[in-house]
Chains A and B, each alone.
Chain A
Amino acid sequence: MRRFTLAFALATTMLTSVAGSAHAAGTLIWGMPAETDTLDPHATGGWSTYQITYQIFEGLVKEDLTKADAVTPALVPGLAKSWDISDDGLTYTFHLRDGVKFHDGTPFDAAAVKFNFDRFWDESSPNFYKKAKAFVIAYTKWIKSVDVVDPMTVKVTLTAPNYQWIRQGLQSYGQPLMISPASVKKYGNDGVALHPIGTGPFKFVERDQGVKTVIERNDDYWGAKAKLDRVIFRPLQDPATRVNALENNEVQMVTTPPWDEIDRLVGEGFVLSTNKNVPYINYIALNFKNPALQDIRIRKAINMAIDREGIAKEIKHNTSRAEYGMLSPGTDAYDPNFKSYGYDPEGAKKLLADAGAKDLKLVFELPQYGTGELVETWIQRDLKKVGIDVELRKYEWVTYMGKWAGGMSADVAMNDIGWGMSTPAWIDVVTRCDSAPPGGINSGFSCNKEVDKLLGEAIVTRDPAAAKTLYQKANRLLMDDAGYVPIDDDLQPILLSSKVKGFVNPPEDWYDLSTVSVE
């Protein structure tokens, strides 16, 4: 027995002698909550995938993600050094940047842009990729034609004016980013996933699915070169594992840290980064097909019964902020002073009494993220206090997505989700009458013709200030109907090792890593 103990001690000493081996200079290892899907930017819908593809690929126009304080990231030249919009709002002329090369040496020019639009939009092109079309459709459905004017100029004509169109092309679903045409020809449309070749500040190195994705600095980048040598993206699904890996310096950055661990880790010297203008919102959709919710007083009572400030403070440890409207703080139409229904349980009880609601029982459908569904349980308790019994029906994520996108059945009263975009035109997608399922995702079938009219006007309004007024008006009308219960928006907490410098937490769900360095 003693010999065994000795052998064990020896082995442990040998193994631990190499512990804490020096990390390569300038390497950032990022612990992510999930594995990303395909690295083909035209054929993915995941925002976590965009966190990687954003570093490798670029579009004609970019969002400036180096300013943490911006309400909405400014639109800045990407692979187009400038662009003009015709007076009728239909024609976009992009003047392309000279001297840019893809990572494989292919020159970037108007033919390359046309090739990419052909791939995700033009069904008649031999380069067309059916999978890409399905993802980029929200952007391409506006396109009438794409023409090469000269080797460094491209003209895109829309079917109707849409002043949110550029911003709609900068969201995470179906990213219209530029892929090297030579690489697509060499590896085929399906081969882009394993050979992602763009023009961005980082080049793809390798992917070991489920283990890591590695990118390295592109020393031939046309703009400010990245500071890091390498970035390694690691999927670490278990929140406790993510935190442990951060504490043990196996990763230097973790996204979606567990709320109740944040204070402790900050106390230990880790840096918490948040952003107050995130372009998404956690909200409940109330079901207009549910008999009990036909009465607006009940919908209002639900809004007034929920203590959102408590959720932000007690559950999320101040890493979220209570919200009272459907426009997220990451859009330029956000109005921080707009408060639809404050926390007023007594007022809620009175409204319920006026409506003659007794023994009200409501079904609440929600996804199971593995976080214990604390927020929904809190809401269930708040509603119980005003006399509404809520049954929580939890579903695994994929099942939930199907139910949510399909619209609620009449026996269900509410469901919840968190998402959004950096364009206020997002509320078109979730609230318009013609966005109701099937065909749309207005899950609670809310419909207000006046809202639709305002949203229709807003999208063809060129003046941002005028558009903002229209969106805010639509938002007020929506909340007057009380068909939605905005809950809160996460402040995008990210935990960093104190060795990480220059990280900017922008008002987007993906980050520009070219400014980051690791000491």
Chain B
Amino acid sequence: MASFLIRRLVGILPVILGVSIVIFLLVQLAPGDAATVLLGPQATEAAKAELRQALGLDQPLPFQYLAWLKHMLSGDFGVGIATQIPVTALVGPRFLNTLILTFSSLLLAMAIGYSVGLFAALRAHSLFDRLSMSVALLAGSAPPFWLGLILVLLFAIELRWLPVSGMQDMAGAGGAVDLLRHLVLPTVTTALGPAAIIARIVRSTVLEALGKPHVRVARAKGLGRAALLRRHVVLNALPPVITITGLQLGFLLGGALLTEVVFAWPGLGSLLYDSITARDLPVIQATALVVALSFVLANIAVDMINAILDPRLREA
């Protein structure tokens, strides 16, 4: 088990290195540069050259990359070009905010997905099954920015129950209740799509497990319904369900980025947007690395859980 974990963790290194090189090159390939954006329309060529030099953007590309890598390895991600704020101070809090939204959405998606999926499988072809799977199909296809706006119009503008934007009441005292109020609509918006996918997967895997010969044998032997479900159905259905849930975590990280724009949630999404429009390379790099790392770690966590559940997978 330990060697399995070590193998997976060592595999992260080339992924991170690859991501950093690709991002670096992509930003370089995009036309326009930070100096032009920062200086605005009146900038002279001389002024742009001065600024590029001051920002270290006049160095050859490999030098720029190696300098960045060297600093990064010593924990120094540099300073944001547009804001002059240290990158770690920019990315750290934003990442935390995205995590809050992602995990609350994942919890909600799992709660809805597992319960609806299981219930639909056990009552296959009933009215509930048909209705819930149709709703899941609709919710799964609704784009988050559209869904978010509809929820805002209903719960914030019409009913005045919940706030529209941000993580806190700017003029209020803040606190956990304030955060929870701000969290409700973005969480629902982000969670519904993944919840629908999880529900459909749970339904189909449980249905499949229910039809397996060993389940029929167990049922024929007179095993109680609860024990049958726990020991023979759910346990066998879990690995694919967990894999899908893990993949949804990656989707949520990405989906949360869209939701962040609609709700002005100060996460990585809006930071990434701002830094791309400013060609702010140090911030883009750090943000992309954090997202890539989260995705890889989430997948390793999923593999670990599956390996614990199913010893056969540890050999792989």
Are A and B co-members of a single complex?
Answer: yes
Do the beta carbons of B41 and A441 come within 8 Å of each other?
yes
Task: For B82, list chain A residues within 8 Å (CB).
Answer: 37-38
Q: Residues of A contacting B48 with CB < 8 Å?
A: 134
Cα(A15)–Cα(B149), bound, Å:
20
B102 contacts partner chain A, Cβ-Cβ < 8 Å = no
Q: Which of A212, A237, A240, A403 contacts B270 (CB 8 A)?
A: A237
Q: How far is the CB of B168 from chain A (nearest CB, A)?
A: 9
A133 / chain B contacts, CB cutoff of 8 Å: 47, 50
Interface residues of A in 368-408 (CB under 8 A from B): 395-405
**Chain A residues within 8 Å of B85, by CB:** 193-194, 207, 209
Identity of the chain B residue whose Cβ is nearest the Cβ of A441 in the assembled complex: B41
Tell me, rounded to whole Å, the shortest Cβ–Cβ distance linking B252 to chain A: 20
Name 12 interchain pairs, CB-CB below 8 A, sorted by A: A15-B184, A37-B82, A37-B83, A190-B79, A209-B83, A209-B271, A210-B90, A212-B170, A235-B270, A250-B164, A405-B43, A419-B41
A43 to B160, CA, bound (A): 42
- In the complex, residue of chain A having the shortest beta-carbon distance to the beta carbon of B89: A209
A234 partner residues in chain B, CB cutoff 8 A: 165-166, 170, 264
Cβ A402 vs Cβ B93 within 8 A: no
Q: Chain A interface: which of B68-76, B172-180, B226-234, B295-303?
A: B172-180
Contacts of A417 in B (CB 8 A): 41
Q: Please, how many angstroms separate the alpha-carbon atoms of A102 and B229 in the complex?
A: 73
Q: A27-B171, A439-B44 are in contact. Are A134 and B51 (CB under 8 A)?
A: yes
Residues of chain A in range 328-358 having any CB-CB distance to chain B below 8 Å:
none
| Per-position binary interface string of chain B over residues 229-266, scored 1 when its CB falls under 8 Å from any chain A CB and 0 otherwise | 00000000000000000000000000000000111101
CB distance from B161 to the nearest CB of A (A): 4
Question: A241-249, A313-321, A463-471, A505-513: which one contacts chain B?
Answer: A241-249
Which positions 216-266 of chain A face chain B at CB distance < 8 Å? 232, 234-238, 240-241, 244-245, 247-248, 250
Q: Specify which chain A residues have a CB less than 8 angstroms from the CB of B157 in the assembled complex.
A: 244, 247-248
- Interface stretch among A17-25, A66-74, A146-154? A17-25
Q: 13 additional contacts, CB 8 Å, given A27-B171, A137-B46, A405-B43?
A: A15-B177, A18-B178, A18-B181, A19-B161, A37-B278, A38-B82, A45-B42, A209-B80, A232-B170, A247-B164, A396-B277, A397-B277, A440-B44
- A241:B264 contact, CB within 8 angstroms: yes
Residues of chain A in range 7-60 having any CB-CB distance to chain B below 8 Å: 12, 14-16, 18-21, 23-24, 27, 29, 34-35, 37-38, 40, 43-46
Cα of A133 to Cα of B156 in the assembled complex, Å = 47
CB closest chain-B residue, reference A396: B277
Contact status of A398 and B163, CB under 8 A, knowing A194-B85, A238-B262? no
Query: Assuming A131-B51, A134-B48, is B160 touching A19 (CB within 8 A)?
Result: yes
Collect the chain A residues with CB atoms within 8 Å of residue B43's CB. Answer: 45, 134, 405, 441
Contact with A along B27-45 (1 / 0, CB 8 A): 0001111011111111111
B152 CB within 8 Å of chain A: yes
Number of interface residues of B (CB under 8 A): 67
Q: Is the CB of A250 within 8 A of B84?
A: no
How close is A262's CB to chain B, nearest CB, in angstroms?
17
Q: 8 tightest A-B contacts by CB?
A: A193-B84, A402-B32, A45-B40, A398-B32, A23-B171, A134-B51, A130-B54, A244-B164
A401 with B36: CB separation less than 8 A: yes
Give Cα A441 to B43, complex, Å: 8
Q: Is B169 an interface residue (CB 8 A)?
A: yes
Interface residue? B167 (CB, 8 A): yes
Task: Using known A-B contacts A241-B164, A440-B44, determine if residue A130 contacts B152 with beta carbons closer than 8 Å.
Answer: no
A173 at interface (Cβ–Cβ under 8 A)?
Answer: yes
> Which of B31, B41, B93, B270 has the largest count of A CB atoms less than 10 A from its CB?
B41
With contact pairs A173-B40, A244-B156 given, residues A439 and B45 touching in the complex (Cβ less than 8 Å): yes
Instruction: Output the least CB separation between A144 and chain B (Å).
Output: 18
A205 at the interface (CB under 8 A from B): no
The interface residues of chain B lying within 8 Å CB-to-CB of A21 are: 169, 171-173, 178
- Asked whether, in the complex, the Cβ of A402 is within 8 Å of the Cβ of B274, the reply is no
Residue of B nearest to A440 (CB): B44
Interface residue? A500 (CB, 8 A):
no
Beyond A18-B181, A211-B266, A417-B41, whether A131 also contacts B165 by CB under 8 A is no
Interfacial chain B residues near A237, Cβ < 8 Å: 261, 264, 270, 273
In Å, the complex CA distance between A398 and B280 comes to 11
Chain A residues near B271 (CB-CB < 8 A): 209-210
Contact in complex: A208, B262 (CB < 8 Å) = no
What string of 1s and 0s marks CB contacts (under 8 Å) between A133-160 and chain B? 1110110000000000000000000000
Contact A398 B164 (CB under 8 A): no
- Report which of B31, B55, B83 forms a contact with A402, defined as CB distance below 8 A: B31
Taking CB atoms, residues of chain A closer than 8 Å to B55 are 131
Q: For the complex, is A438 an interface residue (Cβ under 8 Å from B)?
A: yes
Say if the beta carbon of A429 comes within 8 Å of chain B.
Answer: yes
CA distance A135 to B38 in the complex (A): 9
Smallest beta-carbon distance A123→chain B, Å: 10
**Nearest Cβ on chain A to B53's Cβ, whole angstroms:** 7
Measured between beta carbons, the chain A residues less than 8 angstroms from B45 are 438-439
A14 to B, closest residue via Cβ:
B177
Q: Which one of B93, B161, B162, B181 has the greatest number of beta carbons of chain A within 10 Å?
A: B181
Query: Quick one: given A15-B184, A19-B160, A19-B181, are A46 and B51 in contact (CB under 8 Å)?
Result: no
Q: Which of A14, A192, A210, A405 has the largest count of B CB atoms less than 10 A from its CB?
A: A210
B164, A248: Cβ atoms under 8 Å?
A: yes
Q: Please indicate which of the listed interface residues A27, A245, A395, A399 has the most CB atoms of chain B within 10 Å of its own CB.
A: A245
Contacting residues, chain A, for B200 (C-beta < 8 A): none
Asked if B94 is an interface residue, CB under 8 A from chain A, the answer is yes
Q: Name the one of B46, B51, B80, B160 contacting A248, with C-beta atoms under 8 angstroms.
A: B160
Q: How far is the CB of A138 from chain B (nearest CB, A)?
A: 6
Q: In the complex, which residues 77-114 of chain B have their Cβ closer than 8 Å to any Cβ of chain A?
A: 79-80, 82-85, 90, 93-94
CA–CA, A27 to B173, complex, Å? 14
- Chain A minimum-CB-distance residue to B279: A398
Contact yes or no, B39 A38, CB < 8 A: no
What B residues does A137 contact at CB under 8 A? 44, 46-47, 50
Q: How far is the CA of A440 from the CA of B156 in the complex (A)?
A: 49
Q: Which of B31, B38, B46, B262 contacts A403 (CB 8 A)?
A: B31
Known contacts A27-B171, A210-B266: A131-B54 contact under CB 8 Å: yes
Known: A130-B50, A241-B264, A244-B157. A399 touches B30 (CB 8 A): yes
Residues of A close to B170: CB separation below 8 A: 27, 29, 212, 232, 234, 250
Question: In the bound complex, what is the Cα–Cα distance between A451 and B201 (angstroms)?
Answer: 72
- A250-B165 in contact given A14-B177, A134-B50, A137-B47 (Cβ < 8 Å): yes
A19-B180 Cα distance, complex, nearest whole Å? 12
A193 to B85, CA, bound (A): 7
Chain A residues near B279: list those with CB within 8 A.
398
List the B side residues contacting A14 at CB < 8 Å.
Answer: 177
Contact assessment for B83 and A240 in the assembled complex, using a CB-CB cutoff below 8 Å: no
Q: With contacts A173-B39, A250-B170, A405-B43 known, is A19 near B31, CB below 8 A?
A: no
